[in-house]
Amino acid sequence: MLLSVKALFPATATASAIDLDTDYRVRGINYTNNDFDNTTSTDSLAYYSQWLRLTLTGKFNEGIEICTRLSAIGVVGSTTVFTGIPGSSSTVTTMPYPSTNFTPYIDYAYVKIKNMAETPVTIIVGKQPLNYGNGLIISDNGTGVFAFRIYGKYNLPLPVPKFNFKRGGDLFEYYPLALETEVFTAKLSDGLRPGYDHDLYGLVNRYDKNKFHFEVSYFMDADASGSKYFKGNTAYDTTFINKDFIDLYITRREDISNVRFEIAKEKGSVQRSDGSAISIDGLGYNVYGELIGEKTKLGKVAAHAQVAFNTGDNNPSLFADDGSFNPGQTKRFDGLERSGYGELFAASPYDATFPLPSTYSGIDALNVGVDFSPIYGWNLGLDYYYFAATEGPNGAPDASGFEKLYGANFSLGVELDIYAKYTFSKYTEMRLSYNRYTPPTFIVFWPHSDPATRYQFEVSAKF
């Protein structure tokens, strides 16, 4: 890479720093009882997954940064394409990785130009990481997205009343409000003809005040590539899907507490080739709080709780106006494994590891947990999840009373996660986890409700 840059700029291109980073992770995973019936034995799965990432970054005195990251991901000893655990949700689209048989592919290939033309403006062009907030609306799921991004910092005069009522006096004083604004466009697929692409657009405003961080964003997901639109487990052919999001993200971080809040409103429409169309109108939010005790009998202790709510649709099996919250680019994968609320159920706003009946819509989660460090290098943790749906069939088991307070109505089961992590150094760590998910007792859709389990052994290293 450095040689090619010098060829382009022979007189000026001299890298002040070149960094080569390596990340390698191996997971041994065993899923059991995926059909929730202990009398069967053909529904288990065991494998080792591995994820290798090599990142080369060159930084130049002119404020130019060039980055390339190569990745390879797959199942150890297998050359076939991995598509997930048997029986996984049919609404889970193809994994966002170009290859899952450990064939190398390019994650990142971008150029960053800082302080362009001696202004506080930064431009990033190429395949790059794209994540906003908690990944509720947009996340690259660990691989890059081709995008043009431009952002810069500036001061916006904020008028503050002076309460000066003298005639002819100034009524306001102006204080500088330090903001950062970002604009981007990203290409997810290209139909090679205008009007047949899948694009993302965004406008993000950030503001930091004391220990608070604020983000107010607008995102648009415009898909004219012919993607299928899912309502429940039913897929519909489309000619155009348009989704608009207004997102508010707030965090506050202190030594003894962390608070995180995100709420997003979705509007849009779906069109089919026969001319029929429906509107989209959804809402989702997440509230997370954590309290930290540095010196206790159990060492450092962090207790946390969170609530996630997403609107559902009362006719998920019909092509009719959709009231569910359905951000199609949300974070859903961490390598070959699902990522979401709970390590096993791994719920997103609209699907989970296990398939849900189409009469359920809008997945909600209530989580409480604790993490503590009794011995140097060790972290032990426990999480408990209550899953629910905003909409569901008549006669389905109800959610708990507390869940109904924030809009969840129908139980989708519970999960227990237990883990132990040992950090050898800042370069290497090991993690063991046990996960148990139990579906609700509802014989119409779950003839058996024996718990499904997942065991995981993970070693990760970076240098």
Distance CA 231, CA 240 (A): 15
Distance CA 46, CA 36 (A): 17
pLDDT digits (tens, 9 = 90+) for 164-202: 555 556 677 877 888 999 999 999 999 888 889 999 999
Average confidence score pLDDT of the chain? 90
pLDDT digits (tens, 9 = 90+) for 60-112: 888 899 999 999 999 999 877 776 665 555 444 568 898 888 999 999 999 99
pLDDT digits (tens, 9 = 90+) for 10-46: 444 566 789 999 999 999 999 999 889 998 877 888 9
Give the pLDDT confidence score for residue 13 in this predicted structure: 52
Which of 382 and 45 is assigned the larger pLDDT?
382
- Contact between residue 138 and residue 203 where contact means Cβ atoms under 8 Å apart: no
Stretch 112-118: mean pLDDT, rounded? Answer: 89
Q: How far is CA 314 from CA 65, 89, 323, in A?
A: 50, 20, 8
Give the pLDDT confidence score for residue 152 in this predicted structure: 95
Give the pLDDT confidence score for residue 71 in this predicted structure: 97
Poorest-pLDDT segment among 295-299, 331-335, 375-379, 404-408: 295-299
Q: What percent of the chain has pLDDT over 70?
A: 92
Per-residue pLDDT band at 311 (split at 50, 70, 90) = very high
* C-alpha angle 85-408-335 in degrees, rounded to nearest 5: 25
Q: CATH number for 14-462: choose from 2.60.40.10, 1.10.8.60, 2.160.10.10, 2.40.160.100.
A: 2.40.160.100
pLDDT digits (tens, 9 = 90+) for 393-427: 989 999 988 888 888 999 999 999 999 999 999 89
